[in-house]
Structure 1
Amino acid sequence: MKYMLIMRSTDETFEASVDVDFSEIIDAMGRFNDEMVTAGVLVAAEGLEDASLGVVVDYSSQPPVVTDGPYGETKELFGGFWILDVASQEEAVEWAKRAPLSGPGMKAEIRRVPSIDEFPQDNEWVKKERAWRESTGQL
């Protein structure tokens, strides 16, 4: 089963990490990622650029409204993710507990990624996606 570990943080998290050497963060993440690669559970991992450089597309009106960052007061930000292929949610939790994430407001959310096999196989769009995944070696 695949699980996504989503790194979440707050403005308070960023304030607390201002004085931390970025190379220390990269080294800690690199060691953690290497552990998961060695264990054979890491499928994908990415960090995200600073939220102030992103945009938000709000669909509550037509046409959708696009707003540039920064966002003013931030409750939580999605900062990056790992996708793991593990046997259970409990195993995903154990990996998340080992992640080099610390500080006020820092959290990891864990969500299962459903397999394409869990969707109606007679659906036209599921068939097209399955064909695409097969053609790109994902299945």
Structure 2
Amino acid sequence: MEKIILVSLSILLFSSCRNRPSSSNNSNYETNNVVDDGFTKKDRRSSSSSAKSLKVDDENVTIENYLRQMPGLNVNGSGYNASVTVRGVKTMYGASEVLFVVDGVPLSGGLGEVQALVQVRDIANLTILKDGSATALYGNRGGNGVIIIKTKK
């Protein structure tokens, strides 16, 4: 009797492991093991920063809508008046909007300036840096988070 139960449980265990669904739900998220902070590229295992990259592959989707797909970002408003903040970042007196960096050049005008300067069809990927160790490279301006935009060259 014990052998029958043991065999039944082992068959059940192996059959449930075989039909496991794919862990990748969104094909836009890059699965490479490299973290690009705008200055250097590091192995994800040796980096302690919180960074997420997103491939931009549809010209009909706005930058604003791509940013809405990113976990941990809040996009308020729409169009050129939209503001982007990282969830959990609060300031009493200063601005709480993230810093945008396009091909290594920091932009101070927010999402409206990025939308005016960069077309979606020219963007290769977006990288979001959310924590202090990743944004320290950008100083005080990057304290609320950094969105790095790499264009196609």
Larger Rg: 2
Select the structure that is richer in helix. 1
Into which bin does the TM-score normalised by the smaller protein fall? under 0.3
TM-score (norm 1): 0.24
Instruction: Provide the TM-score with structure 2 as the length reference.
Output: 0.22
